[in-house]
Amino acid sequence: MHGTRQSAQISLAPLIASAITLGMLLLAIVLVAQSFRGMESAKVTAARSAAKQLAVSVDDRILAITAPPSTALAVLSHDPLARATSLDARMARLPVIADILQSSDIVSAVYAGYRNGDFFLLRKVRSSGVLQFPDAPQETRFLLQTITREGGDPIGEWHFYDADMQPIQRRVVGDYTYDPRSRPWFNTAAASNTTELSAPYVFFTTHETGLTLSRRAATGPETSGAVFGIDVTVTDLSHQLTELRQTPDTRIAIVNADRRVLADSGAKGVADPAISAALDAAGKTAEDEPVAHYTVDNRDWYGMTEPLAALEEENLTIAVAIPADELLAEVWDTLFRQTIIAGAIALLLLVLGWFLGRRVGRPLERLTDQVSQLSRFRFDTSVKSDSHIREARKLSVALDDMAKTIRSFQSISTVLNRGQNLNELLRDILEQIVHILGQERGGIYLFSRQDQTLTLAVNEGLELPSAIEGLTTDTSDSDIIRLLQDRISGHPVFAILRNRGKSLVGILVVEMEMGDHTQLSDDLILFVDEIAGSAAVAIETRELIESQQALLDGIIRLVANAIDAKSPYTGGHCERVPKLAHMLIDEAVASTDSTFGPFSMTEEQRYEFHLAAWLHDCGKITSPEYVVDKAVKLETIHNRIHEIRTRFELLHRDAEIHYLTTVLNGGDEPRARSRRDEAQAKLQDEFAFIARTNQGAEFMEDADIERIREIGAYTWQRHFNDRIGLSSDEEQSVADLPDPPLPVTENLLSDKAEHLRPWGDRIPPVQKNDPRNRWGFDMKLPEYADNRGEIHNLTVPRGTLTEEERFKINEHIVQTICMLDALPLPDSLANVPRLAGTHHERMDGQGYPCGLNAEDMGIPERIMAVADVFEALTAVDRPYKKGKSLTESLTIMSTMVTNGHIDRDVFELFIRSGTYRRYAEEHLRPEQINDVNESLFMNTD
């Protein structure tokens, strides 16, 4: 401490003066900076508003570009050109096409495509001020491009016309094989009754950027399926953008969803780094505005983007980049002037601050030596000052009182912060308060809200009643004290313990038997009340911690019970697995075996494992019930075997009808009856086979699978519309499928397109290369989210679940990890998601969801896996299977050890410690508990 004081170079007085001056100077700097930020924000806001207005202007221009050609196209759809089937007939309508082409500078081509592949197009040879066909004759102003297929092979011809539409030259172009039927504009318009507008794109022949408007010819028997189109250019948008720049170096561009530049102010396109940076920074903010601030080529820029309402489906965006030095030029000039003024004011304040600092610092300097004693924790030091400054004198008195108060609080604060167990905390609080007051005896009562009773929790040497009744939560402090005075004799002082919500927590009783108890000062009583208030908060906090932990345990059991209650097939699983896992953990901790000898767990780790065990299957709450409960192969929400039985019934009835028809028509009745009986018997046999297959209990041979496909190939007639009475999900599945006219011949069993349910945007992040996968999942994702195909389900080789449904079952562990990882768990519970989510991993790395191997898992994870497997094998509350006996279960688990599924050391500990039998005696039925030859399952190496 002495060396530290010697190293000081600045006395207290100049330090205070410097601090005051620095504060004033800092205030000036802050004000200037705020002024700059305000002006900068105003400029940014103005730029943002200008960008919005620019977007509106561009929208209007795009609408102005597309409206006139759309009108002309609507008129053209009724023109006889749609009915013309020869080139001469189409040439006769050339003046009409020429009038439309010459009506607007932005129309670059007018054309018609026909269903047979013919094409008839008139275009300007000079568009956007550029000659598009340099090899055309000198006087050429228009080019007619035609393709006809009168003889089968396409014949391409180019006809050149002057400004008066007089022919100049005709060329046969052999390699001109353009087919309008392959173009999007033709197919889109052919399927529509309105004018269709394409996205901006580069034209095939002229390489200009523009739009195509197309419309199907008016419906009629002679239209030949014609589709008319008009190409319009948007080149003049770039000139308009150039004129709308706010500063000389402002960059403006219009881009589509693929970031292709359609128009820009500087003809730099997507290569312009300022525009590219503005697009990359879309969504970021500057000055609380949706404007991005970035640096490109050592120059600061402000960038903003605005969606265009025109051509909404094309997601057009206008991007604006403004150099910061140009936008903020006026701001910097104003800032310079304000800085000069602020500097002058700061200089004046420096002189004034130094004078005031000296006046305040001198008396405080005299207190330094006295206060330094407090810095060495000597709170018994008297702090006095003879300063004529009133504040300095009051400070010395306050510091002296503070030292005394700190001595009193040191003892009690240690107790309040140290207590963990509530009973120990209460005893320590009473001991310290009694000592501070200089007394020897006391007690603490705790209030029970349920019983409306004060119960004695701690007593030091007093004869106090064990309980005091007659109180409510609304009883005032004065009434409580009167009641206590009637029940407790002597000279006690009472402190009412209330929590932060002013609710009654308890009562502190101290017997004032040392000294003159009649001279209790108000300050002492207030001090006792304040200490009691701190004790009440500490008591409340400890009670809250204990009640919150109890609440957390209750919620976890509630979730686990809800999962078990969701499906009758897994009832009790979430409750039994934790019990078995805890039994194994205790054995592992107590084991002296080399594998488990170093293993131990703290209380926090045990609680962490306890939570993980209860929540190990919490993801099952997201698993569809119809998959979890699937008992037969064709079951979804219901068992679809009934639909297939109905189809068999139809075929059975058809055989009967065929027999009766044959008899009525005079046919051979015995022969017809024989055929009917044979067909009906075969149907009975094959439906019985399908019904057995639906059970899914045995492994299917290849011959059975082939037989299902052969049966499925039988056909039947459907006479009713299967597109009515559907749910929205079913309607969506058939929306893009053709609806054939009735009656329809259908297969007896089929895998239809509507049976497939794609993932869409609901793909779970389980694949290793998925950027959303931050948990390390490594699972195979089925091609479809669901496949309800009848043959697909019936040909499942083993069990009832398809690949898609098996994934849904397995996905519950993914959901378990994701759900638990989303919880704001404290550090002491950070491993809960891992402990709960690894019980389906295998020692050989073939498990899921992360493909971990033995080296990746600790003893708790391996124990969880063994507990989960054994409970599943022996469970008796699953209707689709019988609970296995101890020997059967251990035999299966022994095979799983050999196959690298579960850990051998944990399995042998499970047997050697007798844990399996203790668990069985509590949870298994008597017939499951048989004599087990444990040596058969132990490693003899």
Which of 464, 425, 422 has the alpha carbon at shortest distance from 443?
Answer: 464
Rounded Cα distance, 237 and 257, in Å? 18
Among 247-251, 450-454, 889-893, whose mean pLDDT is lowest? 247-251
pLDDT recorded at residue 357: 61
Q: How do residues 258-315 score in pLDDT, each as one tens digit?
A: 777 777 776 544 457 877 777 777 666 655 567 877 788 788 887 878 887 766 666 7
| pLDDT > 80? residue 731 | no
| pLDDT > 90? residue 565 | no
Residue 800 to residues 88, 359, 644, 708, 918, Cα–Cα distance (Å): 69, 92, 17, 15, 34
Per DSSP (E only), the strands in 200-298 are 201-202, 209-216, 227-233, 251-255, 261-264, 292-296
| pLDDT > 90? residue 255 | no
CATH code of 567-629+800-937, in short, is: 1.10.3210.10
pLDDT recorded at residue 110: 92
Q: How confident is the model at residue 106 (pLDDT cuts 50, 70, 90)?
A: confident
Among 14-18, 49-53, 69-73, 399-403, whose mean pLDDT is lowest? 14-18
Q: How do residues 110-149 score in pLDDT, each as one tens digit?
A: 999 988 888 999 988 876 666 777 788 988 889 998 989 8
Which DSSP string corresponds to 506-540? Answer: EEEEEE--SS-GGG--HHHHHHHHHHHHHHHHHHH
Assign 395 to helix, strand or coil. helix
Tell me which amino acid residue 126 is. Answer: R
Rounded Cα distance, 31 and 340, in Å? 13
- Reading phi first (left if > 0) and then psi (alpha if -120 to 50, else beta), residue 216 is in beta
Beta strands 756-757 and 786-787, pairing class: antiparallel
**Secondary structure letter of residue 179 according to DSSP:** -
| pLDDT > 90? residue 161 | yes
| pLDDT > 60? residue 11 | no
* Topology (CATH level 3) of domain 77-234: Beta-Lactamase (3.30.450)
Average of per-residue pLDDT across 767-776: 84
Q: How do residues 651-677 score in pLDDT, each as one tens digit?
A: 888 888 888 888 888 888 888 888 888
> For residue 746, what is the enclosing H or E element?
strand 744-747
pLDDT recorded at residue 4: 44
Rounded Cα distance, 480 and 503, in Å? 13
pLDDT recorded at residue 227: 92
Which of 852, 850, 857 has the alpha carbon at shortest distance from 767?
Answer: 850
Sorted by sequence, the CB contacts under 8 Å of residue 753 that are 6+ apart come out as: 733, 734, 737
Q: How do residues 795-837 score in pLDDT, each as one tens digit?
A: 888 877 778 777 777 777 777 777 777 777 777 777 888 887 8
Query: How many degrees, rounded to 5, is the angle at CA 606 between CA 600 and CA 607?
Result: 160
Q: Rounded to 5 degrees, what are φ and ψ at 17? A: -60, -40
Average of per-residue pLDDT across 47-56: 72
CATH number for 419-541 (one of 3.10.520.10, 3.30.565.10, 3.30.450.40, 1.10.10.10): it is 3.30.450.40
Tell me which amino acid residue 187 is. Answer: N
pLDDT recorded at residue 739: 85
pLDDT recorded at residue 829: 78
Among 494-503, 520-529, 871-880, whose mean pLDDT is lowest? 520-529
**SS3 assignment for 795-841:** CCCCCCCCHHHHHHHHHHHHHHHHHHHCCCCCHHHCCHHHHHCCCCC
Q: How do residues 165-213 score in pLDDT, each as one tens digit?
A: 899 999 888 787 788 888 888 888 888 888 888 777 777 677 777 778 8
**Whole-number percent of the chain with pLDDT over 70:** 74
Q: Where are the domains of the chain?
A: 77-234, 419-541, 567-629+800-937, 641-755
Query: Looking at per-residue confidence, does 222 or 190 come out higher?
Result: 190
Q: What is the mean pLDDT of the chain?
A: 77
Which DSSP string corresponds to 25-53? Answer: HHHHHHHHHHHHHHHHHHHHHHHHHHHHH
**Secondary structure letter of residue 931 according to DSSP:** -
Average of per-residue pLDDT across 348-352: 67
> For residue 870, what is the enclosing H or E element?
helix 859-874
pLDDT recorded at residue 8: 46
77-234 matches 419-541 in fold: yes
